[in-house]
Amino acid sequence: MPPEIFTLWIGLTGLFVGSFLNVAIYRYPLENVTVSNPKRSRCPQCKHGLSWYENVPLFSWMIQLGRCRHCKGTIPWRYPFVEALTCALWLLAFHVAGGMQGWALGAIYCLVLSALVVATFVDFDCLEIPDSVSIGGMLVGPILSFLVPELHVHSWLAYQFGDEVLSAAGNPELTRFGALVASLAGAGAGWGILFAISWLGARAFGKDAMGFGDVKLLGAGGAFVGPGGALLVLMLASVFASVAGVLNMLRFFILVRGRARRRGVPKSIGKALFVARILGRYLPFGPYLAVGIGIVLLYWNDVLGLLLRGTH
C-alpha cells in the first residue's frame, strides 16, 4: 500500500471512530441505552433518527451549518470537534509510530488516545471517568506491553531483563518480560501515587481532594508509559490543571464583575474574587491527566529533554 493511501485510510478511520466516540460520550450518562443500542443516532433535541447522510462525520455538520435538518435545533460544535480531534490524533499516532512499519505500536497509540478522548469529555460532563477506560486500561496495558514491548522503549525498567552479556557490552535489550514488568510497575506507581495524595488530602483537609476515578486513570496511563512516565504525567497534569484553574477563576471573575456592573451595583474586587473562587472550584482533574498521558505516550523523550534542559 502506498504511504499516502495508508495515511488517508488512517485519517478516515479516525473520523469514523471519532463519530463513534461521540456516541459513547453522549450515551454514557443515559439509562437504557448502550453504545450499540439503539443502532441509529438521534437528534438530541427532536429525537428524529439520523439517516446515513445526516451522520457523515464532520461533513454533515458543516453542510447543515450545525443545525438539525428537521427541528433546526443547533447541534453542538463538540460533535465535529471530537471527530476532527480523533482524526488528528490517529494521524499523529501513526506518524510517531513510524507509519505502516510501526502499525502495531500505532494501533495501540490510537486505542489509548481514543479511550482518553472518551474519558476527557465524560469527565467534563459527569465529573466521572468510565471504569471501562480506567480499569480497562490497567488490564489491557500489561497484555499489550508484552505483545508490543516497543511501547516501553523509553522505560529504564524494560531493559533490565535482557541478555547480561549484551547489557555489559553497552547494548541493553528491550524484552517482552521487561516491558511487562514496566507496565505493571507503571500501573502500580500511577495508582499508588495518586491514591497516596488523595488519602493524605482527605486526612489533611477532611474532604476528598481527588476523585477515585483519577487514581484509576493514572494507573491505566502508567500501564502504558511505565513508572517514570506516570510521574511525568502527574507533573504535566498538575501544571495544566493549575493553568486551567486560574483561567477558569478569571472567567468567573470577569463574569461576576460584568453582571454586577450591568445591574448598577458594582462588586468590590475582593468580593468578586471570592465568588469566582467558589464558582470555579469544581474542575475535573481527569482531562488534564488524559492530556498528560497522551503527551507522554507519544513524546516521552522530548518532554524529558525539555525538562532536563530547563534545569541546566
Nearer to Zn ion, 73 or 98 (CB): 73
Calculate the CA dihedral of residues 30, 33, 34, 37 and round it to 10 degrees: -150
Pick one of 35, 46, 243, 307: the residue that binds Zn ion (CB under 5 A).
46
The stretch among 20-28, 73-81, 111-119, 131-139 that binds Zn ion (CB under 5 A) is: 73-81
Pick one of 21, 25, 68, 218: the residue that binds Zn ion (CB under 5 A).
68
Q: Would you say 297 and 112 are in contact if contact means Cβ atoms under 8 Å apart?
A: yes
Q: Is 174 in the site for Zn ion (CB under 5 A)?
A: no
Q: Where are the alpha helices (DSSP H) in the chain?
A: 3-27, 59-63, 78-97, 103-126, 131-147, 164-168, 176-205, 212-262, 269-279, 286-311
The stretch among 60-68, 123-131, 211-219, 250-258 that binds Zn ion (CB under 5 A) is: 60-68
The stretch among 37-45, 172-180, 188-196, 295-303 that binds Zn ion (CB under 5 A) is: 37-45
Q: Is 267 in the site for Zn ion (CB under 5 A)?
A: no
Q: Is 232 in the site for Zn ion (CB under 5 A)?
A: no
Q: Is 76 in the site for Zn ion (CB under 5 A)?
A: no
84 burial type by CB count under 10 A (0-12 exposed, 13-18 middle, 19+ buried) = middle
Shortest reach from residue 50's CB to Zn ion, in Å: 9
Shortest reach from residue 273's CB to Zn ion, in Å: 41
Counted residue by residue, the chain has a size of 312
Nearest to 99 by CA among 1, 237, 204: 1
The cell 534545569 sits on which residue? 311
Binding region for Zn ion (CB under 5 A): 43, 45-46, 68, 70-71, 73
